[in-house]
Amino acid sequence: MKKLILAAAIAASFVSSFANAEDAKPDNEFSFNAAVVSDYRYRGLTQTRFDPALQVGADYTHNPTGLYAGTWLTNIKWIKDAGTLTGTDTKGNVEWDIYGGKRGDIGGGFTYDVGGLYYYYPGNTLANSGAKNANTFELYGQVGYGPAYFKYSQSLTNLFGNVDSKYSQYFDLGANVDVGYGMTLGLHVGRQNIRGSNAGVSNNQYSYTDWKIGLSKTFEELAGITLGVAYLGTNLSNGVQTTPASDGAKNVGKSGFVFSLSKTF
């Protein structure tokens, strides 16, 4: 889909508070974040073979214009697993995200967020497994209303090493709802469409759906630490995507709980 629907791109904010950011914050703002998660899931698929991950990030926002930039890092295992599955030697145990864009208010209670995101896997040798380089660049656009949002992402490179997968798409619909007592209910359903001749799954299954239901609460009395739990999964059947046989050939998109502990400062 060589015509970037991103122009229709649509774009916006996870939370409606972005709409009044200029009134509430100084011109420039830096923030940092750190988290420990029981399993790093991305678009429903485990990136760490169901093991924990340590994640850190930093963000800069210029509130008068809505321009922002940020970076985020986490440990991963899926590149190494791809080599194990194909009997080759692959390296790459870190994901480093670099992103930037613009967000703001478009009136009538609607917000937008548009930008680009580069997924960088330093020193990755995923191509040894018959795939392409894992590094991926996506453009995204999001539009939000109150706690609800719709986000569209499209890759301008091969998607996470899948052969001939340029212009793959991801659709994300969700909401983050304040349910009282300082708790937020997160709801999400997504659809990943992977283009190309080798989408990394068997039986020519190049698309899948993922979903998540989560609950989080920030404890100010505990230095602002946020605790979260989510139940998530995909419609991928057992054996379609698996970890190495030494781990029991688990379906990387199977349903399960993920626990998190995070802090922004």
pLDDT digits (tens, 9 = 90+) for 73-111: 999 999 999 888 888 999 999 999 999 999 999 999 999
Q: What are phi and psi of 195, to 5 degrees?
A: -80, 165
If pLDDT is split at 50, 70 and 90, which confidence band does 28 have?
A: confident
pLDDT(44) > 50: yes
Mean pLDDT, residues 239-249: 57
CB 215, CB 229: distance < 8 Å: yes
Give 177-232 pLDDT, tens digit per residue: 999 999 999 999 999 999 975 544 443 447 899 999 999 999 999 999 999 999 99
Beta bridge partners of 155: 138
pLDDT(245) > 90: no
Whole-model pTM?
Answer: 0.86
**Extended strands (E) in 81-206:** 94-107, 110-120, 136-145, 148-155, 169-180, 183-193
Percent of the chain scoring above 90 in pLDDT: 76
Q: What pLDDT does residue 9 have?
A: 32
Specify the CATH superfamily of domain 5-264.
Answer: monomeric porin ompg (2.40.160.40)
If pLDDT is split at 50, 70 and 90, which confidence band does 248 have?
A: low
Q: pLDDT: is 162 or 7 the higher one?
A: 162
Q: How far is C-alpha 179 from the chain's CA centre? A: 24
Q: What pLDDT does residue 16 have?
A: 29
Mean pLDDT, residues 113-122: 98
What is the Cβ-side half-sphere exposure of residue 166, based on CA atoms within 13 angstroms? 7
Distance CA 169, CA 207 (A): 10
Going 24 to 262 to 77 to 82, the CA torsion angle's sign is negative
CB 92, CB 80: distance < 8 Å: yes
Going 199 to 192 to 168 to 135, the CA torsion angle's sign is negative
Query: What dihedral do alpha carbons 177, 62, 35, 15 form, nearest 10°?
Result: 10
